Amino acid sequence: MDMGRALTLAKENAPYLSRLIDSEVISSYEFGDLVDTIQTCLAPLPMDLSTSDLMTRLRKDKAKIHLALALLDLAGRFTLDDITIHLTQFADRCCEIALRHALAKDQCSYNGLTLFALGKMGAHELNYSSDIDMAAFYDGDKFDGGARDPGDAASRSIREAMRILSERTADGYVFRTDLRLRPDPSSTPLAVSTRRADLYYESVGQNWERMVWIKGRPAAGDMHVGETFLKTLEPFVWRKHLDYWAIADVQAIKGMINARAGDADLANHAPDLKLGPGGIREIEFFVQTQQIILGGRNPSLRVRGTLEGLEALVELDVVARETANDLTASYEMLRRVEHRIQMLNDEQTHTLPSFEAQRASVAALSGFSNLNAFDKAILETRRLVHHHYSALFANEARKREAAFEGNLVFTGVDNDPGTLETLSHMGFSDPDKVIEAVRRWHRGRTPATRTARGRELLTALLPDLLTFMGKTGHPDQAFSRFSRFFEGLRSGVQTLSMLLVEPELMEDLVTTLALAPRISGELSRRPGLLETLLSVTDIQTVPIIDADIDFESAMDLVRKWHGERSFIIGHRLLHGKIAAREAAADWSVLADTTVKLMSKAAERETVRRYGAAPGLWCIAGLGKFGGQEMTAGSDLDLLVIYDATDPPEAQTWFTRFTQRLITALSAETGEGALYDVDMRLRPSGRAGPVATSYTSFNRYHSESAWTWEHMALTRMRVVAGHKALGLKVETAAAHHIRGTDKAHARTTDIRDMRERLHREKPSQGKWDLKMRSGGLVDLEFIIQHGLLTSVTELKLPVPLRGAIQILGISGYLDTTQEEVLLEAHRFLSALQQVQRVAIGAHMDGDTLSQGLTNRLCRATGCKTFSQLKHHLEEYCSTVSNLFAEKIGMLPTDFNSPSV
């Protein structure tokens, strides 16, 4: 094509070029004159120009070289290499001029500071309206910042140099500059010391940064310092020995570029020719991923250019000649079209216009006579590229690439538009926040990713991990809680490896974190608990506390064991692997075993300090513990009773023993805590001694105990200590409970007690399953009232459901009432079990996640959450009515809608 035809094409189809032509920045459009114009624009400038004059001159030179190169390109007089090399040379020249001017302005030395070209500029592959990716480094021993600190002076000069290039004036701009590919850009200055950069790349440098530095080269400033620094990076960029995980990480990076693109994506007439499927980046990554994997052992692959690297892969028989030919031709076509897109308006865009008129202009500039032929050629080219790209690592990546659709790219510094779209589609409300968090992890900002292996494992996990979060229905919550868990890991390699080989465990973890804030918090504090799901097969296994284990070590040993078993029970309950009744039994057995272990350790420590026990002892459980109705987070209501011939001596010894028992059970150590211990149900409450003699216990309950204390005895169960003494205590307690002759007084006391509870601990609403009207407290009060007023023979211990059946036999409850109470107790306790393990004591049914409402429905046998709420009101109303019938009406405000 002659120059006249190129000129006409430019004026008719490219508004930016038309404006340049009209501005007459070039006096002649003959080939020789255009080449001379280019050489003029590459020549040095006088050093004595003012900043404003320099900025004007550079911008005018940019306009001249842009027009000259565009016309030579459109006329077919320059090859793609000619265009990109000249554009890159102009960028190098402008950077050098701007840097020298900024250094001289600040009276800094030229020696010791280097600007590196990265990306396309580093490979001499700049496109027509390209940003320039750069990184600035200074040698602290050589760079002289004058009156300023070298680091501060270097950053100041770099900032000024970049301003000279990128600030828009009446004459436009020269280059948009980007310095974010430097080490950890969010926390480092614009210019980084070579020493600090070396430490960064050695410790937390990532594989994608190795790929960045394939193209890196010194472009301006002190070239000697630049080359020396580049030499120090060679072991980082070109690793001679890559283990499986490093290769897998590179493959995962490749796989995340376009996870899975269907024909619909490829058939788009207005694709992103750089980032879209079948685009330029796929060709670049086709080459770079193999360079990174093989370049450490094959120096011939250590080249910067994309096509140069592709040719080197052919020479090594890594890539077939036919494949290389296809990709080379495709690369050249896509890059030429990319240039023509940017010729329209000098915009850094790679996307073909969606409007046919504008796309027809690109087609005309690209030498096509009609738009259909152009669209077809683009489609065929992209399909060919994507075919070869998809075949790369196909066997290794197919399984993971099939797991999701869309982009998941967390490399670099710009948030990939495709990734933002993918995360939004998954349900994340703030995709930018997710990307920033992942990028922070990849920079080693958390212990789990401070090693290369940890970062590589994270890369491999991310697609499945984010997919599972999306499936929970609450991905934001799942991600937030996973972040707390992940950032709590002391070392991530073991856990991440486990999740990678156990995808079901990964999905299980994500679901658990999303559904259960209580378990999520526990996992965040103790991430190692996750391993117990695989390592612990028998939750009944009990730790052995040998005689040579000291008291503190015994506390830690039991806490570690208890935490693992507690987590397993909660996990199984949450995921429906055990029913609520089984969970209550498991929690209670766990508490029983813990009390037995810690009481033996407390006894051994007391004996070591104060000699042998002066009598017998036993420990009784009350409340939920005694009734074997424990839930996640339940405290322990305890009573320590002893029998001795020398009461004063025994009181001192058993007080010390009980104090150690309380410490053993409730003190927090490095392994966490066990239970809150409540001993207020002992005779005389807080005022009485922590350990009670059998004689005092018996006398107190015969002469002084309140009705509510006898109510507590209905749930007494001896859990540790001397068996014979325990039997004697339970028999005595059963005797004190019986009292049909006191029925009227006890009824009044029980009603008064419930009114007092209502005043002091009012219900928090309908989801307060314990304190609400018709809730578990009312249900228990009915049962305790029946035992204290209608049963003449009773043997302890008696579980709550067993007590309901006893009351049916005694005639206190008719058959219908017995069945209703059993069903109400089953329903309320099942609901409470899941509530306590997932959330804790307080729950708002209106803000629960769909996943958790499903768990609550499953636990209670309801098909829908609406049905569950209906049954809740129905059961509580029945219990409340029965309470009124058996014990008496409560104040009207107790049942008010505000409760």
**Residues 789/746, Cβ–Cβ less than 8 Å:** yes
Predicted local distance difference test score (pLDDT) of residue 622: 97
The dihedral built from the CA positions of residue 801, 806, 812 and 814, taken in this order, carries a sign that is positive
Query: E strands, 529-635, where?
Result: 616-622
Distance CA 758, CA 772 (A): 9
Q: What is the pLDDT of residues 428-472, one digit of tens each?
A: 999 999 999 998 898 888 888 888 888 888 888 888 999 999 998
Residue ranges of the alpha helices (H) in 261-320?
Answer: 263-266, 280-294, 306-315
Predicted local distance difference test score (pLDDT) of residue 892: 59
Residue 232 pLDDT more than 90?
yes
Predicted local distance difference test score (pLDDT) of residue 206: 83
Q: What is the CA radius of gyration of the chain?
A: 38
Read off the pLDDT of each residue in 587-596 and give the average, rounded to a whole number: 97
* Greater pLDDT, 144 or 501: 144
91 membership: H or E segment, kind and range: helix 80-105
Read off the pLDDT of each residue in 496-507 and give the average, rounded to a whole number: 86
Predicted local distance difference test score (pLDDT) of residue 251: 64
Under the banding of pLDDT at 50, 70 and 90, the label for residue 243 is low
Angle at which helices 452-471 and 492-501 cross, to 10°: 50
Read off the pLDDT of each residue in 822-842 and give the average, rounded to a whole number: 93
Indicate the DSSP class of residue 217: E
Q: What is the pLDDT of residues 64-82, one digit of tens each?
A: 999 999 999 999 999 999 9
Under the banding of pLDDT at 50, 70 and 90, the label for residue 346 is very high
Under the banding of pLDDT at 50, 70 and 90, the label for residue 246 is low
Predicted local distance difference test score (pLDDT) of residue 404: 55
Read off the pLDDT of each residue in 605-628 and give the average, rounded to a whole number: 96
Please tell me the pTM assigned to this model: 0.70
- Region of 658 (left: φ > 0; alpha: ψ -120 to 50; beta: rest) is alpha
**Residues 383/278, Cβ–Cβ less than 8 Å:** yes
Give every CB contact of residue 317 below 8 A, 6+ residues apart in sequence. Answer: none
Residue 414 has a CB neighbour count (10 Å cut-off) of 11
Residue 289, classified by CB atoms within 10 Å of its CB into exposed (0-12), middle (13-18) or buried (19+), is: buried
Read off the pLDDT of each residue in 802-826 and give the average, rounded to a whole number: 96
Distance CA 606, CA 652 (A): 11
Indicate the DSSP class of residue 846: T
Residue 898 pLDDT more than 50?
no
Of 776, 716, 783, 706, nearest to 746 by C-alpha is 706
Predicted local distance difference test score (pLDDT) of residue 245: 57
- What six digits make up the tokens of 520? 């999520």
Residue 645 pLDDT more than 80?
yes
Predicted local distance difference test score (pLDDT) of residue 244: 55
Residue 263 pLDDT more than 80?
no
| Stretch among 240-244, 424-428, 623-627, 855-859 having the lowest mean pLDDT | 240-244
Residue 192 pLDDT more than 80?
yes
CA 501 to chain centre: 19
Of 388, 385, 431, nearest to 407 by C-alpha is 431
Residue 848 pLDDT more than 90?
no
Read off the pLDDT of each residue in 595-601 and give the average, rounded to a whole number: 97
Predicted local distance difference test score (pLDDT) of residue 332: 97
Distance CA 75, CA 329 (A): 19
**The residue count for the chain:** 899
SS3 134: strand
Residue 172 pLDDT more than 50?
yes
Predicted local distance difference test score (pLDDT) of residue 537: 66
Q: What is the pLDDT of residues 305-344, one digit of tens each?
A: 999 999 999 999 999 999 999 999 999 999 999 999 999 9
Residue 103 pLDDT more than 70?
yes
Distance CA 650, CA 341 (A): 94
Predicted local distance difference test score (pLDDT) of residue 52: 96
**Helix, strand, coil shares of the chain as percentages rounded to 5?**
65, 5, 30
Torsions phi, psi for 693 (to 5 deg) = -75, 155
**Residues 346/66, Cβ–Cβ less than 8 Å:** yes
Of 641, 800, 650, nearest to 732 by C-alpha is 641
SS3 297: coil
Q: Does residue 299 have a cis peptide bond before it, meaning omega lies within 30 degrees of 0?
A: no
> Which stretch, 47-51, 113-117, 895-899, has highest mean pLDDT?
113-117
Predicted local distance difference test score (pLDDT) of residue 895: 47
Predicted local distance difference test score (pLDDT) of residue 399: 46
Residue 503 pLDDT more than 90?
no
The dihedral built from the CA positions of residue 189, 195, 196 and 202, taken in this order, carries a sign that is positive
